[in-house]
Chain A
Amino acid sequence: MLRFEKRDKTPVRLRVLVPICSVLLGLFVGSVVMLFARVNPLRVYEAVVKGAFGSAYTFSETLVIAVPLILISAGLCLVYRMKFFNIGAKGQYIMGAICGSYLALFGPATMPRPLLLTLMMVLGTVGGALWAIIPALLKAYWNVNEVIATLLLNYIASYILWYLMYGTWRDQRSHGFPLSKSFALNAQLPRILPAPSRLHIGLFFGLAAAGIVWIIIRKTRFGYEGRVLGENERAARYAGINVFKTIIIAAAISGGLAGLAGIAHTSAVLRILQLEINSDYGYTAIIAAWLAGLDPLVAVGVSVLLAALEAGGYQIQIVMRVPFGIVGVIESAILFCLLAGEIVTHYRISLTRRLTA
């Protein structure tokens, strides 16, 4: 029988060891899965690394995927610390893309590029923020479970996009396909490397966001209040912390960053609004934030690694005919191991025989 004894403090070595072991175990599980399909794991991992970092182009593609992950995971680190489990980043991403694209598609065509782009980014951020404020208000006032609320809003956002893309936002010239008109040059967020690289200035937004969120958490009153709130709501109230305001502002920041990721990616990489705008980054970012232990700076690194896995995954699919699904297997296996390992940091586990007098 397993016996759990609460620990007073977590030895530092465990804090580092558990994530590392999780990664290794995850890779191991992935290997086992591959072996069953008679695929050589070592060759696959080698190809993944090459596919992610092998050349300047592949590296920049990795970073292209990393950008939305960095942006979104930074926001998630903030809200998860307050125990507000926002899993609606996908919906917030979509709403951000929709709101920002509105200006791109229907705004004045002659607006100067910097102004247009700034407005687009702002609109996208606001759109995502609002989409997150709704469940935050419900949680703050009525204690509605935010997991289910944000999940439902993901669907609603997807269907709003669908509605627009098959409706009035569809380009006449797209032969019935659900595509908007291509973004004009002044609506395209600039890329920072020459073609064929698609890396864009969203990268700087992401790094800035990670840094700002880190500062918020560590150095500001708001971050301090949020941490107290996440640990113990009663103590927070007694200390005079405004619980409502704190949750709503944090949710707005998280949603805003997701929305920004949505419009930035759409504007810089896709340059068109369509049904598939890579909104599932909203889910991958959750993994990134959790693996990073809710530290936004660590999340930058983790985001790059997860992006590498995905970028490499695309490559191995094309070159080695290894299905992309293996990426999901590895990511989730790492996460499982991390979740399982977390208990070790809080409790000391021992095996005992049934308690006798």
Chain B
Amino acid sequence: MNPTFGSILIKVFAGAVESGTILLLPTLGEVLTERSGVLNLGLEGLMLIGAFFGFLGAMKTGNPYVGLLLGMAAAAAAAAIHAFICVTLRGNQTVTGLALSIFGAGLTSFYGDSWVSQRLTTAIKPMAVPVLSRIPILGPIFFSQDLIVYAAYVLVAVFWFLLFKTKIGVNLRAVGENAKAADAMGVNVVGTRYFWTILGGALAGAGGAYITCCIHPYWLNGITSGKGWIAVALVVFAMWNPFNALVGGFLFGSIEALQLQLQAAGTYINSALLSMLPYITTFVVIIVATVIVRVRHVGTPKELGIPYAREEK
């Protein structure tokens, strides 16, 4: 039976949801991290750490979910280093993040070498949602995915709610916008930044582990192929809002899925232009975000990248 155009499209979008989730997880984490005022450019390294240690964990225990958790834990630990250097020791956050990316790439490449030919036998399998997956078009795209994708949907809602409807969210946003005021009101600035940086790292690790424990259940050097860097850009595109991150992830994921289809059809050129699109768009977005901050007071968290030092009186 010839695949119809419609079924190809559905396949593309379903793939987009998958790719989008890989991007969404680190993006969500970094949205929260940056909202607390910490810039973590090391997402690529954290995703690789999550991917590798997730794979390792899954291979050793035979359980891919355990692997995922292990990957998250490893990435969280690496993010803790970043937090220590940036928050407590007030190191330059840009360079520290770069170092983290290089560290993650190097470490996983080094350890991963001996695991390259292995394949995970028990990967995370898709689980169709009982009723919803029968809905035409939407069902196969959104509701016939694996647990991690559903968890990601839930996390978007949870974090959106947390940020804008809870006290924790208010404290977090205050720390990122005016650390001095937050401190004066009794919020633990240092603790807040540590917490969200480490959590952000865990989520980045989850994104990486999702690849090796589910989608491509084997290890390859650099398996994340720059997705961590895309996530950094995606945070800006999403204007630090979890819901926009979901939309952006899906958009960027669609472009990647489309790209794969085009490559299969042998047209590379359009693929390059298409791939450029998210970055050009994000570029425009950050210009807009910076300019409108003056007018609408939303955008880059004011304290982003600035270490906090309570002045000695």
Task: Give A contacts to B, CB under 8 Å.
Answer: 2, 4-5, 33, 36-37, 85, 87, 138, 142-145, 147-149, 151-153, 155-156, 159-160, 162-163, 166-167, 178, 283, 286-287, 290, 322-333, 335-336, 339-340, 342-343
B279:A159 contact, CB within 8 angstroms: yes
B283:A149 contact, CB within 8 angstroms: yes
Q: Does B90 reach chain A (CB closer than 8 Å)?
A: yes
B105:A328 contact, CB within 8 angstroms: yes
A4:B309 contact, CB within 8 angstroms: yes
B99:A336 contact, CB within 8 angstroms: yes
For the complex formed, measure the closest distance between the CB of A337 and the CB atoms of chain B, giving whole angstroms: 10
Q: Does B96 reach chain A (CB closer than 8 Å)?
A: yes
A-B contact count (CB 8 A): 149
A328:B268 contact, CB within 8 angstroms: no
Interface size range on B against A: 35 or more
Given contacts A87-B94, A148-B232, A152-B283, contact A328 B290 (CB under 8 A): no
Closest 10 CB pairs of A and B: A328-B106, A325-B109, A325-B110, A166-B268, A332-B103, A163-B272, A339-B91, A323-B113, A329-B106, A335-B99
Picked from B111, B112, B232, B276, the residue with its CB within 8 Å of the CB of A151 is: B232
B96:A336 contact, CB within 8 angstroms: yes
A331 to B113, CA, bound (A): 19
Q: Mark B56-96, 1 if CB is under 8 A from A, else 0.
A: 00000000000000000000000001001100111110111
A2 to B90, CA, bound (A): 13
Task: Name the A residues within 8 Å of B132 (CB-CB).
Answer: none
Picked from B41, B106, B110, B280, the residue with its CB within 8 Å of the CB of A331 is: B106
Picked from A5, A36, A87, A148, the residue with its CB within 8 Å of the CB of B98 is: A87
A37:B110 contact, CB within 8 angstroms: yes
A167:B96 contact, CB within 8 angstroms: no
For the complex formed, measure the closest distance between the CB of A163 and the CB atoms of chain B, giving whole angstroms: 4
9 A-B residue pairings within 8 Å (CB atoms)? A85-B94, A87-B94, A147-B305, A155-B226, A283-B98, A286-B95, A287-B98, A336-B96, A343-B90
B279:A152 contact, CB within 8 angstroms: yes
Q: Mark B99-139, 1 if CB is under 8 A from A, else 0.
A: 11011011111111110000000000000000000000000
Given contacts A329-B110, A339-B85, contact A144 B269 (CB under 8 A): no
Q: Does B287 reach chain A (CB closer than 8 Å)?
A: yes
A287:B272 contact, CB within 8 angstroms: no
Task: Name the A residues within 8 Å of B94 (CB-CB).
Answer: 85, 87, 147
A329 to B282, CA, bound (A): 31
Given contacts A325-B109, A328-B109, A339-B85, contact A149 B99 (CB under 8 A): no
Task: Name the A residues within 8 Å of B105 (CB-CB).
Answer: 325, 328
A323:B276 contact, CB within 8 angstroms: no
A178 to B229, CA, bound (A): 24
A339:B287 contact, CB within 8 angstroms: no
Seed contacts A148-B232, A328-B103, A339-B89; 18 additional CB < 8 Å A-B pairs: A5-B312, A33-B110, A144-B286, A145-B290, A147-B94, A148-B286, A153-B283, A155-B229, A155-B233, A156-B280, A159-B272, A286-B95, A329-B106, A331-B106, A332-B100, A333-B103, A336-B99, A342-B89
